[in-house]
Structure 1
Amino acid sequence: FEAMNNAGHLKKRMIVILNDNEMSIAPPVGALSSYLSQLYTGAPFQEFKAAAKGAVSLLPGPFQEGAKRAREMLKHMTVGGTMFEQLGFSYLGPIDGHDLEQLLPVLRMVRDRATGPMLIHVITQKGKGYGPAEAARDKGHGVGKFDVVTGTQAKSIPNAPSYTSVFAKSLLEQAQQDPKICAVTAAMPDGTGLNLFAERYPSRCFDVGIAEQHGVTFAAALAAGGMKPFCAMYSTFLQRGYDQVVHDVAIQRLPVRFAIDRAGLVGADGATHAGSFDIAFLANLPGFVVMAAADEAELCHMVATAAAYDDGPIAFRFPRGEGVGCDLPQNPAPLDIGKGRIVQKGSQVAILSFGTRLGEVRIAAETLAAQGIVPTIADARFAKPLDREMILKLAADHEVLITIEEGAIGGFGSHVAQLLAEEAVFDHGLKYRSMVLPDSFIDHASPADMYREAKLSAQDIHDKVLQTLGIASLKVRA
């Protein structure tokens, strides 16, 4: 809309094709979707099709006459003009995007004749021509390997519930106890698990459409009005609303709860959906609380923590895919803000994990133990505020301190390094290393392969410990 507003003002030759298939990933919501539907339900395809076919017979001869006839037909189809015309665009449509005899002449005509902004409204069907996709239009997005005949995607049988489903059920439990809890999503009710919330509490669940900026501000307004909004978005989508996170939430210290799905590397969704940056871009904001769940049980506690926290904005992140299969708490309790936990006591080396790399840290620790190295393992839980007491004690009691996170440089490890520097810990010889995602975008692969490429697997953790200690590496058991 911003671009169209600018283009209409400039009056430059610009051709915009609106591919209108009535679908996003979830069914569309909002007034604009309804408006587009009215445009094409009130305009019969066949009349325009006849005009377009007439133009075909006139190409490349008396082309102008064909164009004139098409424009006269369109005037009757769009009586009173459209929103697009009010923005300065000449509007053509709606056109059946699957009928090339209708579509191609219009595209040629616009290419040859347009002198200012043009909008071509094309109606298509998502999955057109492929039965399984036509029958399940929302399932053809971000697919893995699949059977071409049936459309069935090859998916392994999960050994544990997904983090998304655990979040969704935990939020339902909290909402049952507190009528002020509500949920906001941006066109991803299924992807974020809020479809379950919408079924149970339809008046407390808001899908704002593909509009993360508005979604964040909407959640801020709910919080200002006394509600307890959970703003559930993918990490990579929340990036679109960062300005609103800063100005509408953080500066006003409003208690918006950010449930950040798809944190870290995401496998089949590829580099575009990798949640690499939210730790860094949220933990640097004053007054923000930033958490990461090490497993699905911790996620339950973090949902409870967010529900109980009213002192300002709070965020918790969790990855795509299934959990580790741990027992879920019957009555999740809020965590102490800014307090981590010691998972395993050891000596010489301390590994401080933030997020679900904790499982890989445990695997690495088993092999290290076979070499006579028993590391202390700690789960930070919080990137902000840091557990200063725990971190400084780990630094004081160990020769090596290694942090690991599923995020880019500038996040949790950087905050730990800042704390250690301020407390003059490096003045006394601590060997400190920070394991983060590399300074590159990682291509589509399985999550395990992506983390191996990122050098954040159990083998890489094992190697990092030995390298820091100056010891030769062995192979970690798969």
Structure 2
Amino acid sequence: MLDFRFHMNSSILQHINSPEELRKLSLEQLPKLAQELREFIIAIVATKEGHLGASLGVVELTIALHYVFNTPIDNLIWDVGHQAYGHKILTGRKEIFETNRQLNGISGFPKRSESKYDTFGTGHSSTSISAILGMALAAKLDGASEKNHIAVIGDASIASGMAFEALNHAGATDANILIILNDNAIGIDPSVGALKKYLTNVKKGTAKDENIFECLNFDYTGPIDGHDIELVISTLEKLKTKKGPKLLHLITTKGKGLKQAEENQVIYHAPGKFNKETGDLLPKSKEFQPAKYQDVFGHTIVELARHNKKIIGITPAMPTGSSLKFMMQEFPERAFDVGIAEQHAVTLAAGMTTEGYMPFCTIYSTFLQRAYDQVIHDVAIQNLPVIFCLDRAGLVGQDGATHHGLYDIAYLRCIPNLILAVPMNELELRNMMYTAQLGLNHPIVIRYPRGRGVLKEWKVPFEKIEIGKAKKLKNGTKIVVLSIGHIGNMVTDVLHDIEPNEKIGHYNMRFIKPLDSTALKHIFDSYDHIITIEDGCKIGGFGSAIVEFANELSYHKPITVLGIDDKIIEHGTTKELHQITKIDALSFKLKINTILNATK
């Protein structure tokens, strides 16, 4: 044992830089370590921001897992990685934890390239059981069946289809895996669905005779108090010696140890900056700020739904993040949170469309990736006019590589029957939504970014937008910029400051599919150099579409494509990432001036 006889007056955490050091502590010292670990997380997140509540809820479990198991020899996966802050601190990253989610700092999620203790990257949910089963089966093939394989998954994440697919497979094997169900009745928003009700009944002792996990051939233990560290450790010690698939059901409180985080679990999932002593959120600036695009969506769908009783709202577990919460409050019978189930959300919307309803399926760009087959098979092939409102498109900032919405233009543009619309500001988002619910013959995706728009007034009367029609913003004679989406506002500002200004034209294309072929023919006939700019990947993106158009019509004008290069973009503020990827105002201005000088 480490000699911490003085521990009542000094920090234990300051001496812990690895699980090996953690395992030298006595059981009596662990509650104090848990308190210090909570305080450490709170202090850093209060000033640096990040995901708070999830990690506070698993402090005892984190300590217990590394105390009982021989990590990293024993594999440990956190699903989803919001809850892994304590894990990172105890596995050698305490001194650099203040760089969490900062540019060139450590990731906010587990990341294999960052630490040998991060056995699998988990930015999206519900992947852990499949991954840990793969590791366990591989270990068996290697003759290392004594190794332990542990996955920690939340009750919201285990309700996802992929998790059930993995449970179904795992229960039919003799793989040495332990699934720890961290049951706190909330993901980002409160958990939903029949499984949540079942788990609630288990906790109350009113569940039906059969246990769903035992029926799937798991050795079930629980539910137990996930904050009783001695009980958690003794339970893990027993399970450690058992072979085959096991499931431990833990009851925890998200935000444990910070009163406000326990009482306001949605807000304190990722609260921004707050007072570490009181827990109070820091006051926001009173200066005018434009509306967030998500709120423009949320308020607009409510306004439309008041007049169109066929409008339905659907989101996979993001009612607050997408602002569908506004419709859920006013029209609860017509707004559905389906849980972490993107595939189901898309096909549910398709089914409702066949019965004459107009579902707005609001989903983050990075999460629509999880339902790609459904977009093709269930929506596009049948040409069902589902309205997809694609939030968090483009670079999203500090959530990093797993959450950037960089690929949606490329992966959607190739799908037949799909309309792809990109508003430049709040008013265009509003009018695109209005136009979509007037009745279309095709499915439509309306793509918009995370963050705020640019307008002071956007709640004005609706106007129909002609599908596939670009908008000329500025005349020019030599160079023309074709922008798509919010980034066009930056283009407008830069062009206003460039001399000679009259040489440069600017079009807000608004639609990537269908392209405005009439406008493009005029553009290629009138300008010497075309520049495209987008906040998505260049391969297969908007610029690629313009190059393809030029090739098909045998235009030979030079085309400069600005966007995200073929590489993974890590975390940082959106401003920093725009600079790194050279789609910020300064980089754009330098590119324009370079081309201008070359044409003189």
Structure 2 residue ranges without an equivalent (≥5): 1-163
**What SS is found at the alignment partner of 1:318?**
strand
What one-letter code is carried by the residue in structure 2 that aligns with 1:131?
K
Deviations 1:102-144 (A, max 9, x none): 10011111112x2110001111100111222112111233443
Counterpart selection for 2:516 from 377, 380, 387? 387
Q: Distance in 2 between matches of 1:462 and 1:373?
A: 15
Contact 2:475 2:502 in 1 (8 A): no
* Residue 464 (1) aligns with residue 594 (2): no
Q: CA-to-partner distance for each residue in 1:356-390, whole Å, 9 max, x for gaps?
A: 01111012212323x45641010000000001111
Q: Residue 50 of structure 1 corresponds to which residue in structure 2?
A: none
Q: Does 2:289 align with 1:159?
A: yes
- Distance apart, 1:268 and its partner CA: 3.9
Q: Deviations over 1:189-226 (max 9, x none)?
A: 11111111112111111111111110111000000111
SS in 2 for 1:406: strand
Residue 317 of structure 2 aligns with which residue? 187
Residues 443-452 or 249-258, more deviating: 443-452
Partner of 2:190: 27
The corresponding residue for 2:532 is 403
Tell me the distance in 1 between the aligned counterparts of 2:295 and 2:589.
Answer: 32
Q: 1:372 to 1:137 in 2, by over 3 A?
A: closer
Q: Distance in 1 between matches of 2:412 and 2:321?
A: 22
Aligned to 1:87: 216
Q: Which moved more, 1:310-319 or 1:457-466?
A: 457-466
Q: Matched residues in 2 for 1:79 and 1:387: separation?
A: 60
Q: In the alignment, what sits opposite 2:201? A: 38
> Cα distance, 1:259 vs. partner?
0.5
Tell me the SS of whatever aligns to 1:335.
coil
Match for residue 54 of structure 2? none
User: Residue 108 of structure 1: which of 214, 230, 237 is its match?
Assistant: 237
Counterpart of 2:560 in structure 1 is 433
Match of 1:325 in 2: 455
**Residue 117 (1) aligns with residue 245 (2):** yes
- The amino acid across from 2:570 in the alignment is D
Question: Could you say which residue in structure 1 is the equivalent of 2:387?
Answer: 257
Which residue of 2 is the match for residue 14 of structure 1?
Answer: 177
Larger mean CA deviation between 140-149 and 387-396 belongs to 140-149
CA–CA distance in structure 2, aligned partners of residues 137 and 260 of structure 1: 25
Q: Is the 8 A contact 2:221 2:248 kept in 1?
A: yes
Q: How much does 1:348 deviate?
A: 0.5
Q: 1:104 to 1:288 in 2, by over 3 A?
A: same
The amino acid of 1:37's aligned partner reads T
- Structure 1 CA distance, aligned partners of 2:307 and 2:527? 44
The answer to whether the 8 A contact 1:349-1:401 is kept is yes
Q: Distance in 1 between matches of 2:456 and 2:522?
A: 28
Give the aligned length: 433
Distance across 2 between alignment mates of 1:154 and 1:407: 33
Structure 1: how far apart are the matches of 2:203 and 2:307?
45
| Counterpart code for 1:446 | T
Deviations 1:158-216 (A, max 9, x none): 52111111112221222122111111111111111111111211111111111111011
User: How big is each residue's C-alpha offset from its partner over 1:327-350, in whole Å with a ceiling of 9 and x where there is no partner?
Assistant: 326221221111110001112010
State the shift of 1:446 in Å. Answer: 2.3
The amino acid that maps onto 2:204 is: T
Give 1:176's aligned residue.
306
Q: Is the 8 A contact 2:495 2:501 kept in 1?
A: no
**What SS class does the counterpart of residue 190 from structure 1 fall into?**
helix
| TM-score (normalised: structure 1) | 0.87
Q: Which moved more, 1:146-155 or 1:164-173?
A: 146-155
- Following superposition, the deviation at residue 79 of structure 1 comes to 8.1
Cα deviation, residue 269, structure 1: 3.2
Q: Structure 1, residues 137-159: CA drift from partner, whole Å, max 9, x if none?
A: 11233443332123315754552
Q: What letter is aligned with 1:218?
A: L
Task: Report the secondary structure of 1:425's partner residue.
Answer: coil
Does structure 2 retain, via aligned residues, the 8 Å contact 1:11–1:88? no
Q: In 1, distance between residues paired with 2:261 and 2:181? A: 21
Structure 2 counterparts to residues 410-425 of structure 1, below 5 A: 410-425=540-555
SS of residue in 1 equivalent to 2:322: coil
- 8 Å contact from structure 1 (residues 295, 326) kept in 2: no
Counterpart selection for 2:374 from 244, 251, 261: 244
2: CA distance between counterparts of 1:150 and 1:402? Answer: 51
Q: Within the alignment, does 1:4 sit opposite 2:167 as a pair?
A: yes
Q: Counterpart of 1:407 in 2: which secondary structure?
A: strand
The aligned runs of 1:261-272 (5 Å cut-off) are 261-272=391-402
**CA distances 1:83-113 after superposition (whole Å, capped 9, x unpaired):** 111111110110111101110011111112x
Amino acid corresponding to residue 251 of structure 1 in structure 2: I
Q: Is the contact between residue 292 and residue 382 of structure 1 (CA under 8 Å) also seen in structure 2?
A: yes
Question: Normalised by the size of structure 2, how large is the TM-score?
Answer: 0.70
Q: Hey, what's the Cα distance between the residues in 1 that align with 2:274 and 2:572?
A: 15
CA-atom RMSD, angstroms? Answer: 1.8
Alignment partner of 1:347 is 2:477: yes
The answer to whether the 8 A contact 1:260-1:316 is kept is: yes
Q: 1:284 to 1:354 in 2, by over 3 A?
A: same
Equivalent residue, structure 2, for 1:72: none
Q: Is the 8 A contact 1:264 1:276 kept in 2?
A: yes
The equivalent of 2:575 in structure 1 is 448
Structure 1 position 134 matched with structure 2 position 297: no
Report the Cα distance in structure 2 between the residues aligned to 1:362 and 1:347, rounded to whole angstroms. Answer: 16
Tell me if structure 2 keeps the 8 A contact 1:164–1:193.
Answer: yes
> CA, structure 1 residues 82+460, in 2 after alignment: closer, same or farther (shift >3 Å)?
same
